Structure 1
Amino acid sequence: MMRTKENMHLTLYSRPGCTLCEEAAILLDFVLDEFPEWTFEEINIDNDAALSLKYLYEIPVLAHQNEILSYGKFETEAVRNRLLEKR
């Protein structure tokens, strides 16, 4: 399957004041230095009632095309391995 920019995009679900979320964003920036073809956007779950209900107790949540790749405390090697699987 040929990868395109659209399917090389990650979503990080988070909320303000969440220390784990802040750490996840920093870690993701670090890991994505090795994966320049990938992009990510951070979405504040507080701005969407459905997302807040869905992810409130799991944030931070890293998703790729509706598949959760990681949640809670991120580990660099685990995130790196998931991205390698998706290449």
Structure 2
Amino acid sequence: MQTKEHKSLTLYSRPGCTLCEEAAVLLDFVLDEFPEWTFEEINIDEDAALSLRFLYEIPVVMYQSEIWSYGKFETDTLRNRLLEKS
């Protein structure tokens, strides 16, 4: 039996960001449909370079080095991207 490869998204966020909190909830919701996918949330305030890079774009959802979305995102768009990579 062949198992699917585990894949992970990265959510760049910061505390107190309501869009970031919403993004984390929506990612959890969508990823329930894709058990081979997970996400890691990274606080940009803990890294000066990340803070400088993403401060005005958070939340940022990234797969490997590819930005999939920034700011508010649509769950259908995320589902389509996940289907393409699954």
Q: TM-score range by the shorter chain?
A: over 0.9
TM-score (norm 2): 0.92
Q: Which digits, 9 at most, give the CA deviation of each residue in 1:16-56, with x for residues without a partner?
A: 00000000000000000100100111000000000001111
Aligned to 2:82: 83
Q: How does 1:38-57 map to 2 (within 5 A)?
A: 38-57=37-56
Q: Which residue of structure 2 lines up, in the alignment, with residue 4 of structure 1?
A: 5
Residue type of the alignment partner of 1:4: E
- Which deviations, in whole Å up to 9, do the C-alpha atoms of 1:44-72 show, x marking residues without a partner? 00000000011111100000111111110
Larger Cα-atom Rg: 2
Equivalences for residues 10-21 of structure 1 within 5 A: 10-21=9-20
User: Normalised by the size of structure 1, how large is the TM-score?
Assistant: 0.91
Could you tell me how far apart the structure 1 residues matched to 2:51 and 2:9 are? 18
Residue aligning to 1:67:
66
Q: Which runs of 5+ in 1 are unaligned?
A: none
Tell me the matched-pair count. 84
Identity, % of aligned positions? 78
Correspondence for 1:37:
36
- Partner residue in 1 for 2:24: 25
- Identify, as 1 or 2, the structure richer in helix: 1
Query: How large is the Cα RMSD of the aligned pairs?
Result: 1.3
Point out where structure 2 has 5 or more consecutive residues left out of the alignment. none
Distance 1:84 1:59 in 2: 24
| Secondary structure at 1:54 match in 2 | helix
Cα shift at 1:82: 1.1
